[in-house]
Amino acid sequence: MATLLPPTEVSFTLPHIRLTALHWGEADAPLVVCLHGWLDNGNSFAPLAPYLVRQGYQVLALEFPGHGHSDNRNPGNFYHFLDYLYELKLLWPMLNQPPALLLGHSMGGILAKAFAALYPDWVDKLVVVEALGPLTATEKDTAPNLRRGFESRDKPSSTGSYASLDALYQARAAAGGFALPLAKLLMDRNLCQGDDGRWSWRSDPRLRVRSAWMMTEAQAASLMSELTSSMLVVLGEQGFEELKARWPERQNWFKQARMQTIPGGHHCHMEHPEALSRFILAELA
């Protein structure tokens, strides 16, 4: 893995919330915008950034509301797929130039596809890692999902505090299935220390609330049919098996989609950034 480059933190003030991002590279270089996964943050792309910066690109890793150093949503509000898309719509005109490529991992990959489908003129090239498309539910599950989603909102949202950082690092590494240094890198932007010296999660506890609504397969397929960008799907060889199993079926959703694999698990973009960078640079060539 290349030596990590120190990023610059930047912020974008939307009408209702302030979002942060990590930036690497020269401001006049072609721009690669990155969207992280659920409960991750901009450091998700820190291992990849040096490989792209070295080849003359700048990298901007946005942080969604409730993640990283971005603001949490106001009291009484929750986190939904549609709101993230709207925030991307508000933020896009604030970028210093149209992106040469949009990269998304997991949740960020799902959002990248949906955003590119909604606004095809804003996304020319698209690479998604460990993501196939919107999560879906059947029509008959509409009422049960709404009930479960609302019940999830009623549960107390407390994450507790911890005296030991080592225990937190170990837990994150185990949950993510990756090495301890990568867990520490992600958690560098996901922890805060209280006046009592104890550590707690920076990410908003409401991120763990169950989604009350998801698209049907037909709705997701209709949305994805609007996607005109050139798209590469990259899956980890040891990533989520369901993604590999569903690729032949989901491939029919997209007009221009190819699939490649690289070593690693669900966070293969962090574990093997050089392998991913080769595919990204080929897309940009």
Per-residue pLDDT of 48-104, as tens digits, reads 999 999 999 999 999 999 999 999 999 989 999 999 999 999 999 999 999 999 999
Task: Report whether pLDDT(156) > 80.
Answer: no
Residue with tokens 């946005």: 62
Domain interval for residue 27: 8-138+216-284
Q: Which helix (H) or strand (E) holds 171?
A: helix 165-176
pTM reported for the whole predicted model: 0.95
Q: Are 108 and 37 in contact (CB under 8 A)?
A: yes
Q: What is the pLDDT of residue 159?
A: 67
Distance (Å, whole) CA 244 – CA 234: 10
CA distances from 146 to 76, 138, 164, 226 (A): 17, 12, 38, 27
Mean pLDDT of the chain: 93
Residue 177: left (phi > 0), alpha (psi -120 to 50), or beta? left
Q: What is the pLDDT of residue 173?
A: 85
Could you tell me the CATH number of the domain that includes residue 28? Answer: 3.40.50.1820
| 3 secondary structure, DSSP code | P
Domain presence at residue 195: no
Q: What is the pLDDT of residue 115?
A: 98
Band the pLDDT of 255: cuts 50, 70, 90.
confident
Q: What is the pLDDT of residue 204?
A: 93
Q: What is the CB neighbour count within 10 angstroms for residue 143?
A: 9
Q: Are 38 and 259 in contact (CB under 8 A)?
A: no
Domain presence at residue 200: no
Mean pLDDT of 172-181: 84
**174 contact partners, CB below 8 Å, separation of at least 6:** none
Start-to-end CA span in the chain (Å): 23
Q: What is the pLDDT of residue 54?
A: 97
Q: What is the pLDDT of residue 97?
A: 95
Tally of structural domains, the chain: 1
Q: Are 66 and 72 in contact (CB under 8 A)?
A: yes
CA distances from 83 to 10, 48, 73, 90, 269 (A): 21, 27, 11, 11, 25
Mean pLDDT of 234-260: 92
Q: What is the pLDDT of residue 3?
A: 81
Domain presence at residue 191: no
Domain presence at residue 56: yes
Mean pLDDT of 247-275: 93
Q: What is the pLDDT of residue 158?
A: 66
**86 contact partners, CB below 8 Å, separation of at least 6:** none
Distance (Å, whole) CA 109 – CA 36: 8
- Percent of the chain, pLDDT > 90? 79
Residue 118: left (phi > 0), alpha (psi -120 to 50), or beta? alpha
Domain presence at residue 207: no
Q: What is the pLDDT of residue 161?
A: 78
Task: Report whether pLDDT(2) > 80.
Answer: no
Residue 121: left (phi > 0), alpha (psi -120 to 50), or beta? alpha
Task: Report whether pLDDT(224) > 70.
Answer: yes
- The β-bridge relationship of strands 58-62 and 31-35 is parallel
